[in-house]
A = this chain, B = another copy of it.
Amino acid sequence: MNLAPLSGLYAPSLALVTDLYQLTMAYGYWQQGLQDREAVFHLYFRKAPFQGGYAVAAGLALAVDWLENLRFSDDDLAYLGGLRGSKGTPLFPPEFLAYLRDLKFTCDVDAVPEGTVVFGNEPLLRIQGPLLQAQLLETALLTLVNFQTLIATKAARIREAAGPDDQILEFGLRRAQGFDGGLGASRAAYLGGADATSNVLAGQRYGLPVRGTHAHSWVMSFADEEQAFTAYAQAFPDDSVFLVDTYDTLDGVRHAIEVAKKMRAQSHELGGIRLDSGDLAYLSRGARELLDAAGFDQVRIVASNDLEENLITSLKQQGARIDTWGVGTQLVTAYNQAALGGVYKLAALRTADGTGWDFTIKLSEQLAKTSIPGILQVRRYLDEQGHPRADMLYNTAVPLPERLVLVDPNDATRRRPVRPGAPFRELLVPVFRQGRRVLDLPTLAESRALVQREVASLDPAVRRFLNPHTYPVGLELSLYDYRTQLILAKRPQRPA
């Protein structure tokens, strides 16, 4: 894995990958002398995407790279210095720009390792440090973690549908949302379970396996399919997959078999055929029969055409004979839910005297959108086999009571006591301390292997696509009670 997977890609500083209001707030904090007040923010989503039962945490390695390279360059400052307010005066005074120029990242960051399964309301990142800095990080961290988590989760679902033995190839670059929309998607797709990508830049920058066949235009450039396949086999005698549906799919398979025979006569074997249109269940069975009857049972059948986890499940149920799934648009854009609604919420501020904490809350008409105060950790309780049983969010800044009870944050009547001595692990691990990285990042392949172990450890009821069982995530009871008090204190109590 490339050690600078993101910043190395971009020529300029990436400090301006942010919303303007982060900078206007930063100026406001600086003006008020609040820039160094210690603050704690959590980055989390409220609901797993795709109406699914879980998500796969991802994006940390990119976030680390971005944080380690965060500096305001002279170009950045010149641009900010040129911004004007409605009266034509500079939005930011030179003194503040000088402050930004000298700004160094000094926060503590704790994060859930890439590849861990996570659920709604669980912090994926916890940032603790000077208010101005911690605020400035919001947009870029959300952009990176939201998208990587979304696509890694989609890929894990597609892997679930395809099963452990089939191959999954990602080739969505052409329908991706910009160059690094595609690049980031290829990374996350591999992390989540794809075996390879067609995206050559992603192969180069992230060390992913790259794969490819040929297009319809290749076939159309020759007088007929047999000539086209023969020419391709000359170029790649041991690495050919023929696309057979340019004119008529099963005729295409027959032409592929003719060429495969000639290849075999020269001690080469055809690798596969690809179906890209039509009824994939019917055509793959027909192709398999033709191939097997001709003695080519080693030839793999690759299929593509707007595939995603539900369609793959259905094709398998229909007896499709597909060995390799080419997934593009639906994976790299997470087409049926194109964004993860991750948020970044302030949860604690040092008291003015510097000795304690004020825990903060954002209200909402919907309880589910009300934030959770505290300096949170996620404790995952495990059963005897090491499988997750329930997760507990708790405030690390106050002592835990002896008897632990989990409360559903959205339904106070749903509670479960924690068995004393139950084994657990804590999901958030230290990544930065005072701006210095303290975690060795795993390779992308290691994180990819973790995804498979993590998903397999979940109950099948949580993994299923239709109406999955809700994995229990509770607030530790004293945190729940504290949050309730805070809501009541902040919300106006209007007479009925």
Contacts and interface: CB of A to CB of B under 8 A. Distances in A.
A32 B177 contact: no
Given A21-B198, A200-B18, A31 B235 contact: yes
A92 to B, nearest CB: 9
Interface of A: 6, 8-12, 14, 16-25, 27-29, 31-32, 34, 37, 39, 41, 75-76, 79-80, 83, 85-87, 89, 91, 131, 135, 138-140, 142-144, 146-147, 171, 173-185, 198-201, 203-204, 210-218, 220-221, 231-232, 234-236, 238-239, 246-248, 251, 271, 277-278, 329, 333-335, 338-342, 344-346, 349, 360-365, 369, 490-492
Contacts of A199: 17-20
Contacts of A235: 24, 27-28, 31-32
A350 B253 CA distance: 28
Nearest to A171: B19
Contacts of A131: 221
Contacts of A37: 221
A179 B8 CA distance: 13
A116 to B, nearest CB: 21
Contact of A143 (B25, B89, B182): B182
A3 to B, nearest CB: 14
Given A210-B20, A211-B20, A217-B135, A277 B174 contact: no
A236 B85 contact: yes
Contacts of A364: 277
A203 B23 CA distance: 13
Nearest to A88: B238
A144 B173 CA distance: 10
Q: Which of A14, A85, A344 gathers most chain B CB within 10 Å? A: A85
B23 A212 contact: yes
A201 B17 contact: yes
Contact of A335 (B31, B231, B238, B339): B339
A364 B283 CA distance: 14
A363 B247 contact: yes
Contact of A173 (B19, B83, B231, B346): B19
B216 A248 contact: no
A492 B248 CA distance: 7
A187 B14 CA distance: 17
A339 B175 contact: yes
Given A11-B8, A21-B213, A201-B16, A184 B175 contact: no
